[in-house]
Chain A
Amino acid sequence: MTVPIGAYLALGALLFVLGIAGVLLRRSALVVFMSIELMLNAVNLTFVAFARQLGRLEGQVAVFFVLVVAAVEVVVGLAIIIAIFRTRSTVDLDDVDLLRG
C-alpha cells in the first residue's frame, strides 16, 4: 500500500467539487445530469477507499446500492428531460421556469 488512503479521499473531494461546479455553471440539463453522476462517482471512490482502510466490505456494498440508485435516477431523469424537450423544445435549464414565482 504505497499510496496513502488520504490521496484517494482528496481525489474524491476534487471530483465532487468538479461535479458541484458543473451543476452550478452549466445550463444544459444533460451536462448538469452528467455532473450529478460525477458527484456520485466521487462518493463511490470515497466509499471504496474507506472500505479498504477499515478492511470491511460494507463500504463496497454501499457502492453497490449507490449504483442501483444511480441507474434508476438516470432512467427517470433522462425520461423527464426528453418529456420537457418534447413539450418546450429546449433543455436549457434557464428556460424551464414554469414554477418561478
Chain B
Amino acid sequence: MELVIFALAAVGAVAGGVGIIASRSPVRSALSLLLVLGCLAALSLLLSAQFIAALQIIIYAGAIVILFLFVVMLLHAHSGETAPNRLGWLTPAGIVLGAILLAGLLGTVRDGGGVASIGAEFGTAEAVGQTLFTTFMLPFEAASVLLLIGIIAAVIIGRPEPASPAPTGTPRQVVEPSRR
C-alpha cells in the first residue's frame, strides 16, 4: 500500500517537474508546480510529517502558487518567450550538466543505517511546535522579522513610479528630498 502511494506520488512529482520546465505557457507551469506540491505533501505524510504536509498545502499551494498565478495574470501575454534564443548552445550544455549533477547526486544516495522507530506523536503540530518554541525560539523570532522585512520590501518595490518625474534641468539637490 505504502509502495503504491509512493510510486503514484513520485510519478506525479516528476511529471509535474517536467511540466514546469517543458510547458510553453506560464499558467501550465504554475499548475504543474501545484501538482508537484500536492505529491510532495503526500510523500511528507508517508514520512510521518503531518504538520509539514499541511504547511505545504496551505503556504505553498494556497499562497505561493496563487501569487504566481496573479503575476502571470498581470503580465499575461508577455510572460512567454517570444524572441529566438540568443544562447542556443546553452540548451545542450544545460542538459549535459544536469545529467552530470544527477549522476553525482544519485551516487551519494545510500540506505545507510536503519530507520529509527518513532512514536505516534512524531511530526504532529504539537511535537513540531514544542521543538520550535523551545530549541528554535530565536530562529523563530528571526523568521518573523524576516517576514516583516519581506513585506516592507515588496511594498517599496511594488510602489508605482511617481506620475511626473522631476523635470529635466532641475538641480539634483532639489530632487533629492523627494527620492524614494
Given contacts A14-B14, A15-B17, A16-B105, contact A64 B83 (CB under 8 A): no
* CB atoms of B97 and A28 under 8 A apart: no
Q: Binary interface profile of B, 1-16, with partner A (CB < 8 Å = 1, else 0)?
A: 0110010001001100
Q: A35's contact among B20, B106, B116, by CB below 8 Å, is which?
A: B20
* CB atoms of A4 and B71 under 8 A apart: no
- In the complex the two chains form, what is the Cα distance from A75 to B34 in whole Å? 17
* CB atoms of B18 and A18 under 8 A apart: yes
* CB atoms of A38 and B36 under 8 A apart: yes
Query: Interface extent on A, as a size class?
Result: 35 or more
Q: B72's contact among A2, A19, A30, A55, by CB below 8 Å, is which?
A: A30
- In the complex the two chains form, what is the Cα distance from A76 to B49 in whole Å? 28
- In the complex the two chains form, what is the Cα distance from A5 to B46 in whole Å? 11
Chain B, range 97-144, C-beta contacts under 8 Å to A: 97-99, 101-102, 105-106, 109-111, 113, 115-118, 122-123, 127-128, 131-132, 135-136, 139, 143
Main secondary structure of the interface of B (DSSP, over half): helix
* CB atoms of B149 and A52 under 8 A apart: no
* CB atoms of B123 and A60 under 8 A apart: yes
Q: B29's contact among A31, A68, A71, A89, by CB below 8 Å, is which?
A: A31
Q: Nearest B residue to A32 by beta-carbon distance?
A: B21
Q: Binary interface profile of A, 38-81, with partner B (CB < 8 Å = 1, else 0)?
A: 10010011001101111111101101110111111111101111
Given contacts A5-B115, A13-B109, A91-B79, contact A82 B136 (CB under 8 A): no
